[in-house]
Amino acid sequence: MNFERKVLVLEKTKSKKTRFVPMNQVLCEELSRLKNGNGASEYVFGYKSVRSGFENACKRAKIYDCTFHDLRRTFGTRLLECGIDIVTIQKLYGHSNPMVTQRYLHPDDKLTKEAVEFLVGPRHNPSAEQ
């Protein structure tokens, strides 16, 4: 992690390429707080594997139906719901192909209904007037 640049540094990726993923202010502050409370360790959570740490946290919290990949799906879907384009989501995921990214995204019916309402413009869409 690079707290000054607000990026996560991912060194061991499937593509074998180091990736830099931006952190928002809330995440940066929370991870910084956790790291400072973890003594001299170079790791925020005190272990090397994020996946095993996640699995252990789920067990302690008695969450049995959540996988590590559910976090990725939720992340991408929430970005899509906020209006972030698929190319940006693809880059954040580190995918080389947008088709792979699409497999992770699960927009709800509300999002697709809102999308078609953009076609009628603000004249016919009271929620678009401001």
- Torsion on CA atoms 41, 46, 50, 56, rounded to nearest 10: 180
| Residue 12, token pair as written in the block | 């061991």
Instruction: Find where tokens 């809330």 sit.
Output: 26
More confident residue, 107 or 67: 67
pLDDT on residue 45:
65
Q: In this model, does residue 65 exceed pLDDT 80?
A: yes
Q: Which residue has the higher pLDDT, 115 or 92?
A: 92
Q: What is the pLDDT of residue 8?
A: 87
Q: So what's the pLDDT on residue 39?
A: 64
% of the chain at pLDDT higher than 90:
22
10 CB-near residues (< 8 Å, 6+ apart) = 18, 19, 20, 21, 94
pLDDT tens string 74-85: 999 999 888 899
Beta bridge mates, 21: 8
- Assigned token pair, 122: 């603000």
Cβ atoms of 15 and 94 within 8 Å: the answer is yes
pTM beyond 0.75: no
Helix H segments across the chain? 25-36, 50-61, 68-81, 86-93, 98-104, 109-117, 121-124
> What is the pLDDT, as a whole number, of residue 88?
93
Report the pLDDT averaged over residues 72-100. 90
Domain boundaries defined on the chain: 1-48, 64-120
